[in-house]
Homo-oligomer: A and B are copies of this chain.
């Protein structure tokens, strides 16, 4: 059996010797660190739901490599139906965690690397397909969480990797040995890195021949020597450290995390290398990973959107105004925008195609259209949620003030909405909206929607490239009877 329970997953993390820094200190027990526990719980949900029969159609798949039942997050997509199920699974997890559950990057990375490795091998007679296949089998068998690491620090955005003042601003091979390579550099914004077993590194841009040392893909365990993680801080992050913060924290149990991963001369053995100097394939790999990941957001963000819409509807109810026409209209607009995101996620999936390696790729044009909408609609959904919530969302005193005997009774009295609803429930809902619009989850629902899987302009470049403007010009010429 290749599926871990949630508890087994947490235990498996304990065995890792991760080198993690947070707030200027090295963490001795990251697994139970209160700043990181919610993010661990979100990943854990990908294991928990896979155990529940009603969700297994979405959460699990049958491995084409081994024939075994595996978690879908470790699966090579075998059909457009698989691609659609991926999106539905992500929406489900967004609904259950109201946060980033972090495991998608690994799924998207193995699918991109696998198909690219096949094509590199064809061209160069390398054996990357064997390497990545072996790796994927290992991941499937042990039900591992893989961090797919793409984004380099990039330094001056106007310069290519080999032209940077500091050559390490893109991750690169610094030494080639008979048994493997040594790499140096860093990957930024690594979602879920503290909750992962493996880190699968890929290049982050198209490259030219002079960038040979930068065209490298591989995977190593996250606790490999030379890897250091520095956790990024999120808006409102320290509320998780406060006493009496069951409510103020907004989403007590779930969250995301991001970190900078530093590779300080890390050794990668030969059988874990998936690309090594074949520069013209860097762009292919980036484009595919980005395509898969832009599809992903049609799922996870619509799931988070469902929770935010539900919270806004509750806030309206607790304020006593659920029947007002402008409130209903705003909730409809939120649902409309949210389902448009989901539609785009579904469409790029069912319009996907089979690659030479045998696994399926999303329709790249539609996946980029999907993500472009994701850079807009969650912002408007948030704005409407803040509209419905009312100003109390950001002026409400702390939980401690509610517990204080002097002030508590006044707060109970004056923050009462509809008389049948406990004031505490109203607080909880407002804090959840705050969490998603301004707090820790806003990092995922807003900024990640903007920049995750590539910033908006990256999608626009792909839409220009994939949109086939010449065909459209021909159509217009045919209608106007202009000769080509």
A13 CB → nearest B CB, Å? 21
Query: Least Cβ distance of A413 to chain B in Å?
Result: 6
A394 near B476: Cβ-Cβ < 8 Å: no
Q: Collect the chain B residues with CB atoms within 8 Å of residue A24's CB.
A: 244, 398, 400-401, 403-404, 407
Do the beta carbons of A473 and B397 come within 8 Å of each other?
A: no
A22 CA to B396 CA, complexed, in Å: 11
Interface segment, A116-124, A134-142, A286-294, A434-442? A434-442
Cα distance, A390 to B339, chains bound together (Å): 26
Main SS of the interface on chain A?
helix
A475–B308 alpha-carbon span in the complex (Å): 9
B313 touches A473 (CB 8 A): yes
Pair A450/B480 contact, Cβ less than 8 Å? no
The residue among A158, A348, A373, A475 with the most chain B CB atoms within 10 A of its own CB is A475
Q: Separation in Å of the A153 CB from the closest CB of chain B?
A: 4
Stretch of A52-60, A276-284, A415-423 lying at the B interface: A415-423
Complex: how many Å from CA A329 to CA B329? 10
Does A165 sit at the interface, judged by CB under 8 A? yes
Query: A324–B456 Cα gap in the complex (Å)?
Result: 14
- CA distance in complex: A189, B390 (Å): 10
A407→B307 contact, CB < 8 A: no
Residue A73 CB within 8 A of the other chain: no
- Which of B306, B369, B396, B464 contacts A340 (CB under 8 A)? B369
CB distance from A209 to the nearest CB of B (A): 23
Cross-interface CB contact of A463 among B332, B428, B456, cutoff 8 Å: B332
Residues of B within 8 A of A477 (CB): 310, 314
Copies in the complex: 4
**Pair B390/A451 contact, Cβ less than 8 Å:** yes
Q: Is A34 in contact with chain B by the CB < 8 A criterion? A: no
Using CB atoms, name the residue of chain B closest to A399: B24
- The stretch of A64-72, A215-223, A251-259 that contacts the partner chain: A251-259
Q: Is the CB of A320 within 8 A of B230?
A: no
Shortest distance between the CB of A264 and any CB in chain B (Å): 8
Q: Is A432 an interface residue (CB 8 A)?
A: yes
* Residue A321, interface by CB 8 Å: yes
Residues of B within 8 A of A236 (CB): 235-236
Q: Does A15 contact B (CB under 8 A)?
A: no
From B97, B450, B471, B473, give the contact of A387 (CB < 8 A): B450
Q: Which of A323-371 contact B (CB under 8 A)?
A: 323-326, 328-329, 331-332, 335-336, 339-340, 342-344, 346-348, 350-351, 365-366, 369-370
A182 in contact (CB, < 8 A): no
Encode A441-479 as 1/0 by CB contact (under 8 A) with B.
011001110111001110010011001010111111111
- CB under 8 Å from chain B, chain A span 139-193: 151, 153, 155-159, 165-166, 168-169, 186, 188-189
18 contacts between A and B (CB under 8 A): A25-B404, A153-B415, A157-B321, A157-B417, A166-B413, A166-B416, A168-B414, A230-B397, A236-B236, A251-B480, A306-B472, A308-B476, A340-B369, A342-B366, A343-B366, A350-B350, A438-B439, A438-B447
Closest to A232 in B: B395
- Known contacts A186-B410, A332-B460, A390-B451; 9 additional CB pairs below 8 A are A21-B397, A21-B406, A26-B406, A98-B476, A186-B414, A189-B395, A230-B401, A238-B242, A310-B474
CB atoms of B350 and A235 under 8 A apart: no
Indicate if A108 sits at the interface (CB-CB under 8 A): no
**Cβ-based interface call for A296 (8 A):** no
